[in-house]
Chains A and B, each alone.
Chain A
């Protein structure tokens, strides 16, 4: 390496170090100025501007997290039709008498029937801003041997499906919810447990093993089936994970790793 290049590198590194000290000393001055401004009534930020900024921060950070690592979903978009049918089967089943009615939040209604649970939303309708969002999802952890076989990211709706060699599946839905959408979740012969997921109330539904065996008579490898659901009331997002052949701990670990 030429002497000039080495000198330039040295100068560059030296400046980087020097600028660290500038950041400290100038930062101290700015901190003092910040104190003065805080104590002064001359330079107040209007409440409306503060509210606007804080709302913007919430949305921007949320958007940043949701748009990470979407690429893994896109290549499988050709198989949308197949998965659309699967999803419909999973979340829409027969009617029965109402057993329980409970208001989950002001806008969320969960109705538990004999063979399914209906989740709907009342109140204000969705704004375009929410319903047009592309979320994308990041899954921090999946059990070994699962590969993605379908998925898409449409405005207000993201879906990804994974399977292993014996036909076990993991399906993840992340949707913007609105009063126009009703989710019918297969909860027949399920044991329900309440938990907290990402700070929001969540439920995990574990299907009776006998019913699972009967349902998957064509595939004796399938021995369990469960669904976990939680609703992010701040961002109006409902997340549902449906899987076969996982333990509760694995379901929870997947759910915890979804961003």
Chain B
């Protein structure tokens, strides 16, 4: 049995070998991640299958990632797929809660200054700490945009909002991160 402790994909392998290799290394993690959203085995298999299809479309991107980034990409893909499938199911049942489109006004008072952004750049390690504290929707948006590379049209489908609203939702998500960082900063000072 192959070790699961590293991914290490041979550079010269075919696309098929590449994806098979990733699946064999991370299959438990993929099912584990899907399982967080439902314990329905059939649903989990559907999530993993759909995730693999998405990963196949991103092979050139995946080939350039480190083990850790690749693993995170796979997990984020499974998580994103699971959430989307759940949303779809709920929508079919008519029980999805519509997340309101943010208004421009919501953002006016929270525009970060250049200083804020510079501070944030210096706080990469802090960001790693606050990341788990972020609500799921914020992580979902930021992962979709910056890790999975979705454009605003794709994000709007996943977020059930108009494409024009994605920009504002992203801004709001970034501000949440910034605010958490600033809160952490204040606590450190006291």
- A residues near B (Cβ < 8 Å) are 4, 7-8, 10-12, 14-28, 30-31, 33-35, 37-38, 43-45, 49-50, 52-54, 56-58, 60-62, 64-65
CA distance A57 to B24 in the complex (A): 11
Contact B124 A21 (CB under 8 A): yes
Known contacts: A14-B120, A33-B29, A60-B52. The answer to whether A23 contacts B73 by CB under 8 A is yes
Contact B69 A58 (CB under 8 A): no
Contact A19 B142 (CB under 8 A): yes
Q: Nearest Cβ in chain B — how far from A56, in angstroms?
A: 6
Known contacts: A7-B114, A11-B174. The answer to whether A34 contacts B26 by CB under 8 A is yes
Q: Nearest Cβ in chain A — how far from B173, in angstroms?
A: 9
Contact A34 B25 (CB under 8 A): yes
Contact A22 B25 (CB under 8 A): no
- B residues near A (Cβ < 8 Å) are 4-7, 14-16, 19-20, 23-29, 31-32, 35, 45, 48-49, 52-53, 56-57, 65-73, 75, 111-112, 114, 117, 120-121, 124, 127-128, 131, 142-143, 145-147, 170-171, 174, 177
Q: Nearest Cβ in chain B — how far from A51, in angstroms?
A: 11
Q: A23-B147, A37-B28 are in contact. List 15 more A-B contacts (CB 8 A).
A: A7-B112, A7-B114, A7-B117, A11-B174, A16-B146, A18-B120, A22-B128, A23-B69, A25-B131, A26-B131, A27-B70, A37-B32, A45-B31, A49-B31, A61-B19
CA distance A198 to B55 in the complex (A): 24
Chain B residues with Cβ below 8 Å from A35 are 4-5
CA distance A60 to B55 in the complex (A): 11
Known contacts: A21-B124, A54-B20, A58-B16. The answer to whether A8 contacts B171 by CB under 8 A is yes
Contact B28 A18 (CB under 8 A): no
Q: Can you give 17 A-B contacts (C-beta < 8 A)?
A: A11-B112, A19-B142, A20-B69, A21-B128, A23-B69, A27-B66, A30-B29, A37-B4, A37-B29, A43-B32, A52-B45, A53-B27, A56-B52, A61-B15, A61-B16, A64-B57, A65-B15
Chain B residues with Cβ below 8 Å from A26 are 72, 75, 128, 131
CA distance A67 to B185 in the complex (A): 53
Chain A residues with Cβ below 8 Å from B24 are 54
Q: Nearest Cβ in chain B — how far from A194, in angstroms?
A: 23
CA distance A56 to B16 in the complex (A): 11
Chain A residues with Cβ below 8 Å from B131 are 22, 25-26
Determine the residue in chain A with the shortest Cβ distance to B3. A38
